[in-house]
Structure 1
């Protein structure tokens, strides 16, 4: 049996390690994919540092090429984006739009993980539409942004974002950058951004943010209120992996406005 490389969380003490594993055997209705690119997101970093809040597999923003298929829907050579988890669509949580709370969600995943040379996509994932065929014009590097961009779009729907809204954002990491791009594309009137990193603030401006602020140097809330005739922004987004800046964000939001806590604070952290 051919053996290939895959990256796993170390069993003790945090960190990651490269292991030799067997190429997964696929069954009826499944596909085998050669990984072409895989994003690294915040949950992967948490696992690498020994602080996992999700299952310990690595790599789920993954795209690749089908090299074996036992599904009539896919052929060898198809370019696909694969989501690692799927929901049932029938339970209480699914019917209330809380798909990640579905009991099926964490029971479904690709094998052995996304950060592997080859991975198996189970039949349940195929049946639930978790393998999307990609346009030949879309690069592998761009395609790995499908998953994080989808998360950002879902968050904006949750807070009922509409064209013409004003928005404040604290934290300009990779996800914060996606928020800026999508907010401007979808018609945000003003996007205010706060971060402690001058490099990230310059990047935010380049991506289309209207006003960028270092909150240590300038009062972020005052700037947002002044630019909105004293009202404050319609929506505030916390894009940091800690809840500590939430007071800074709250000072920017108008009465009746909405807040999106998008980052994943450490377990036990209090607001």
Structure 2
């Protein structure tokens, strides 16, 4: 489990470089990823970098919510410091890490061009998935949320259909949109266990469910195991991102293939961070709250 370090989606200027650092200079504009794998263990050598024992450590010292932070040698040498393209704002660059997480989720799902996808949870992650799926040219995109303002955001961000998850006709609406089959993929972009449990009713036979939102530690969900077996439903978790996906995110942003800064609903100075947390805690009021130094 990632240690509770406050602030890890960061971008800014290099103020000072160590005597042995090569390739970076004072004044460079960069984004930094807080996780890095060792690249030598059993999991890393098999491409499962997020399962590396070193990976969950958050290496930003003291944290991202600070005027200055130290980036250790391991992050620098292993490619976790990204020089920003000319013209890219720090706000956009700060969104590269969560976008990388979503790109990795899509990769793990193996979504095909004509696939239909239901996204449960239309918060920042869910809306990022909407924009990515649209950019990749996939099929039907449907989103649900229990908060009506986020249902409206989903429509604005480009879904084909968006529904309130509290609607008692939701199951029928999803089936009607997919000729009675259910969707090819469900992305659970919520840590609510009830969202995971609900996902099984929307996916087609042979379909896939991506567990993307992080449930509280110790959470337990129930499902009809026999139905999962007979229907051959695939459950695929996706945790975090690597340097590869973050670089892809930056490239997509640079070329205009994806735009996400319109999900920034509030901006706060570091000195007002308590108020920023209060706003971010109310999902009815905000999507992304950006903190500036």
> TM-score w.r.t. structure 2 length?
0.72
Deviation at residue 194 of structure 1 after TM alignment: 1.0
2:29 counterpart residue number: 79
- RMSD value, Cα: 1.4
Aligned partners of 1:250, 1:107: CA distance in 2, in Å?
Answer: 33
Q: Contact 2:187 / 2:212 at 8 angstroms: preserved in 1?
A: yes
**Range moving further from structure 2, 241-250 or 254-263:** 241-250
Aligned partners of 2:117, 2:11: CA distance in 1, in Å?
Answer: 32
Q: Contact 2:113 / 2:137 at 8 angstroms: preserved in 1?
A: yes
1:138 counterpart residue number: 88
1:93 counterpart residue number: 43
Aligned partners of 1:68, 1:166: CA distance in 2, in Å?
Answer: 48
Greater radius of gyration (CA): 1
1:66 counterpart residue number: 14
Given candidates 152, 157, 180, the residue that maps to 1:202 is 152
**Range moving further from structure 2, 241-250 or 150-159:** 241-250
Gaps of 5+ in 1: 1-52
Number of corresponding residues: 219
Q: Which protein, 1 or 2, shows the higher relative CO under an 8 Å CA cutoff with sep ≥ 6?
A: 2
SS in structure 1 opposite 2:103? helix
1:112 counterpart residue number: 62
**Range moving further from structure 2, 143-152 or 217-226:** 217-226
4+ aligned runs moved over 3 Å, structure 1: none
Instruction: Give matches, 1:138-177, under 5 Å.
Output: 138-177=88-127
Q: For 1:100-135, what per-residue CA distance to the aligned partner results, in whole angstroms no more than 9, with x for missing partners?
A: 221222456121111111111111111100000001
1:233 counterpart residue number: 183
Q: For 1:182-210, what per-residue CA distance to the aligned partner results, in whole angstroms no more than 9, with x for missing partners?
A: 11111121111111111000000000011
Aligned partners of 1:91, 1:210: CA distance in 2, in Å?
Answer: 43
2:219 counterpart residue number: 269
Higher helix residue share: 2
Gaps of 5+ in 2: 222-293
1:221 maps onto 2:171 in alignment = yes
Higher strand residue share: 1
Aligned partners of 2:106, 2:37: CA distance in 1, in Å?
Answer: 21
Q: Contact 2:3 / 2:58 at 8 angstroms: preserved in 1?
A: no
Pair 96,218 (structure 1): closer, same or farther in 2 beyond 3 Å:
farther
